[in-house]
Structure 1
């Protein structure tokens, strides 16, 4: 086998070994790697983006009640719990992904994490069961889910008075129509992804 062929083979091995897992960046489970389901459309937030986001939120995660609206791999909710959030509720429609999320909670003994296997928009259309201080809105791209999700969060009582809302969206999506009392406080682009943090102002 030639050198270039060996290199290509090694690169393929390395690439596949990185798929199917997430890494906790900081906090009580720092460095832990947890498996995720390899599902079509699953797009875990990259480590680089996640690190930036949690640097933005560094002083605002501890003791918060978190909601991860389209949890997928659970990367954001688990990172928040690792950094001592009080609780995290993860919403995930796919049954196998939701089961893996619960397994990962059990693995790290996150008794303050809860997974609900549900359609997020249907769940948020209900009157809120509790208020959340930190909310992650990272829906599948090009599905038209961002605006109705944010509208339900605001209108149905899911947000605490000064809640922080993280939004991750595709770059080609023009500025979405979000609640008028949400103020943009952080904003960055990475490749084809725009990620932002908003703060809710009481109405």
Structure 2
């Protein structure tokens, strides 16, 4: 049986940035505030830039689900690049309220913010309904990774993508039970960024 990566909680070696910036698209250089909330860890600029280089700069017409939305950096980046619909799911009520405020400020009509459990929200979607599922769970919530990956594999269409940010690398053996396979991987500091596809 393949061994999953051991849970790991990287120490925060530097304070959180007070804001992050959208890198591309119609809201390029727009600043997003970063709240000081437990488990919040915005995706670094370098990682986001690499992810959207992998995906292509134009996400026109895509259906996107940002499951552990946090600051909204990933979801707003997708919307900025033309995604038709971006569902942001966030369990922290204060963070969800902040996301709604940003949606209104940007007049981001394609964005919908939902307060609640990310895995449950994924399981409530129609199978094969998303072009891209963004998974960036809190790194200290190791129990979330496997169910989130399985729910994402069910929700994404056959030629769609799942993005996973994690404290450890996930290879095809570790991903086997989820129904996903590794397409691209990047390590940046304590972050392992994975672009995944549905297994054949």
Please give the TM-score of this superposition, normalised by the length of structure 2: 0.83
Is this contact kept in 1: 2:64–2:132, CA < 8 A? Answer: yes
**Residues 83 and 127 of structure 1, relative CA distance in 2, 3 Å threshold:** closer
Task: Indicate the residue corresponding to 1:168 in structure 2.
Answer: 165
1:137-176 paired onto structure 2 within 5 Å: 137-143=135-141, 144-155=143-154, 158-171=155-168, 176=174
Q: 1:104 aligns with which of 102, 105, 115?
A: 102
Is this contact kept in 2: 1:184–1:199, CA < 8 A? Answer: yes
Query: How many pairs were matched up?
Result: 185
**Residues 125 and 44 of structure 1, relative CA distance in 2, 3 Å threshold:** same
CA drift of 1:20 comes to 2.8
Over aligned residues, Cα RMSD in angstroms? 2.4
CA drift of 1:126 comes to 3.3
Structure 1 runs not aligned, ≥5 long: 1-14
Give the structure, 1 or 2, with the largest relative contact order (CA under 8 Å, sep 6 or more). 2
Structure 2 runs not aligned, ≥5 long: 1-13
CA drift of 1:37 comes to 2.1
Query: Which range moves more in the overlay, 143-152 or 76-85?
Result: 143-152
Is this contact kept in 2: 1:64–1:86, CA < 8 A? Answer: yes
Please give the TM-score of this superposition, normalised by the length of structure 1: 0.82
